Amino acid sequence: MEILILILSGVLFATAIYNLLQKQLLRIIIGTILLSHGAHLIILTMGKLKTGQPPVLMDGVTEYTDPLPQALILTSIVISFGITGLLLVLAYRTTQENNTDNMEQLRGGSHD
């Protein structure tokens, strides 16, 4: 199963990067979201999948899943959420100010 999940994150990365390489701001943001999903899945997989119960202590249970990757992912989710929100507003403002969301047109000054 781990291998399947890793293949899934490979697919997420591939689609994320293809989106990142696009010209439209929206696609780039979608790309970053997919990228963080892929990363979270990798972190989860590194802690081994399904070796026990959820990491909430209960009497009589000896096998728990690894809690550390979960804590890391939780932190990461919040951070990527913050970034995504900021990026979205940034894209909104950029488009509003410049009347375009095309990265090729947002290159700034003198590029001949």
For residue 10, state whether it binds other proteins (rule: CB under 8 A). yes
12 burial via Cβ count (<10 Å: 0-12, 13-18, 19+)? buried
Residue 106 φ then ψ, to 5°: -95, 35
What are the residues facing 53 on neighbouring strands? 64
For residue 32, state whether it binds other proteins (rule: CB under 8 A). no
Q: How far is the CB of 63 from other proteins (least distance, A)?
A: 10
Q: How far is the CB of 26 from other proteins (least distance, A)?
A: 6
Pairs from 104-107 (Cβ < 8 Å, separation ≥ 24): 104/23
Residues between 38 and 97 with contacts to other proteins, criterion CB under 8 A? 38, 40-42, 44-58, 64-68, 70-71, 73-75, 77-79, 81-86, 88-93, 95-96
Give the nearer residue to other proteins in terms of CB position, either 60 or 89: 89
Q: How far is the CB of 60 from other proteins (least distance, A)?
A: 13
Q: Kindly state the helix (H) or strand (E) to which residue 27 belongs, with its residue range.
A: helix 25-46
